[in-house]
Amino acid sequence: MNGGNAALLSLVNIYKHFPVRQSFFSREMLKVHAIDGVSIDVPYGKTVGLVGESGCGKTTLGRVALRLIAPDGGRIRFEGTDITRLSGEELRRTRRSMQIIFQDPYSSLNPRMRVRDIVGEGWRVHGMGGREEIREKAARLLARVGLSPDAADKYPHEFSGGQRQRIGIARAIALSPGLVVADEPVSALDVSVQAQILNLLKDIQEEYGMAYLFISHDLRVIRHMSDIVAVMYLGKLMEVSPAEDLFRGPLHPYTRSLLSAVPMLGGTPRENIVLRGEIPSPVAPPPGCRFHTRCFLAQKVCEEVCPLLRESAPGRLTACHFV
């Protein structure tokens, strides 16, 4: 996907391992394989949904994309430039066009700052407007995300979870970024509030035209939001497909088992796949295909050879020997 590519963000063969020390006296360093050779593109203005179980590395991937975590290997291209090694002023300038929305609306807002200062921090950092101008822009922005005008003078603890998430969204869109990484933005919220926040995110995308890297473990949320869906398991991508195709006919056995686990209200019953066992530890991921320990299609070859992500149907990528 290099050369003349039209993607806003390209992650190419990203690796990230976190060292963990077994015990104080042990010299041997174990590594959590958070991301193991992941490549994915986020096109301009589209939403790429990243789905997977807890601990599969999707949050890490989101943070690597924004250079909040440095990758151990691979390249990050954003708007056509390689930002893998950027630092200092250049990195700060690039960051104006990439933002993040967090899962936890409580730890994502500084409890000692007023909402106005939280939302306006980016403008201040980049010297965009004086005090009065920032005050006005903040008021407009807060109104846009559905908060009352007096919110600007309050502190975060005076708001509910959903309102705090709106503040987080306002902060993320303040600089009109081209890319927003939404890291499980609704999983800490009540279902009724979830829908409001998701719709707000969609409306804002239409208005501002930004792309989302939308991370979630909830397939229904992913389906509602995404144009393209990437399925991640133990630090590797299993399947990347247009959302419609994926939900109509999942190809990879892992995707199939995930979809069969989503409860359907009044829908036609689908295949029912129950996975055996637990997700293996990312400290010692299984050799060969990461999924072979739980896969219903697994053969001898799966234990030895790691399948590559390849186009198995038009526009659809899967990493499986038998699909």
Partner 1 sequence: MDPSQRSMGVDFLKRLMRNRLAVAGGAAVLFFFIVSAFPRAFSSHDPNRIDVLKVLQPPSAEHPLGTDELGRDVLARMVYGARISLKVGFVAVGIATAIGLMVGLFAGFYGGLGDAVLMRFVDIMLCFPTFFLILSVIAFLEPSIYNIMGVIGLTGWMGVARLVRAETLSIRERDFVAAARAQGAGDLRIIVRHILPNTLAPVLVAATLGVAGAILTESALSFLGIGVQPPTPSWGNILTAGKDNIEFAWWLSVYPGLAILFTVLGYNLLGEGIRDAADPRLRGR
Computed on alpha carbons and rounded to an integer, the radius of gyration of the chain in Å comes to 21
Among 63, 223, 252, 256, binds partner 1 (CB under 8 A): 63
Residue of 1, 125, 283, 301 that binds partner 1 (CB under 8 A): 125
Among positive and negative, which fits the CA dihedral 235, 239, 244, 248?
Answer: negative
Q: Residue 274 CB, nearest distance to partner 1 (Å)?
A: 35
Residue 219's SS3 state is helix
Dist CA 2 CA 121 (whole Å): 35
Q: Which of 17, 33, 77, 95 binds partner 1 (CB under 8 A)?
A: 95
Distance, in Å, from the CA atom of 199 to the CA atom of 207, rounded to the nearest integer, reads 12
Residue from 2, 28, 112, 300 that binds partner 1 (CB under 8 A)?
A: 112
- Helix axis angle for 161-173 and 131-144, nearest 10°, is 130
Please identify, using beta-carbon distances, which residue of 52 and 122 lies nearer to partner 1: 122
d(CA 61, CA 80): 19
Q: Applying CB under 8 A, does 110 fall inside the site for partner 1?
A: yes
Please report the sign of the dihedral spanned by the C-alpha atoms of residue 155, residue 157, residue 158, residue 162: positive
Choose one: 2-10, 88-96, 209-217, 312-320; the region binding partner 1 (CB under 8 A). 88-96
Which tokens go with 130?
A: 């004086």
> Which strand (E) or helix (H) includes residue 313?
strand 310-313
Asked if residue 59 binds partner 1 (CB under 8 A), the reply is no
Distance between CA atoms of residues 261 and 60, nearest Å: 25
100 binds partner 1 (CB under 8 A): yes
Q: Is 157 in the site for partner 1 (CB under 8 A)?
A: yes
Among 79, 104, 227, 245, binds partner 1 (CB under 8 A): 104
Looking at the Cβ atoms of 92 and 220, the one nearer to partner 1 is 92
What's the rounded Cα separation, in Å, for the pair 230 and 237? Answer: 7
92 binds partner 1 (CB under 8 A): yes
Is residue 171 involved in binding partner 1 (CB under 8 A)?
A: yes
User: Binder to partner 1 among 10, 50, 78, 102 (CB under 8 A)?
Assistant: 102
Which residues bind to partner 1, rule: CB under 8 A?
A: 63, 66, 68, 92-93, 95-96, 98-100, 102-104, 106-113, 118, 121-122, 125-126, 155-158, 161, 168, 171, 175
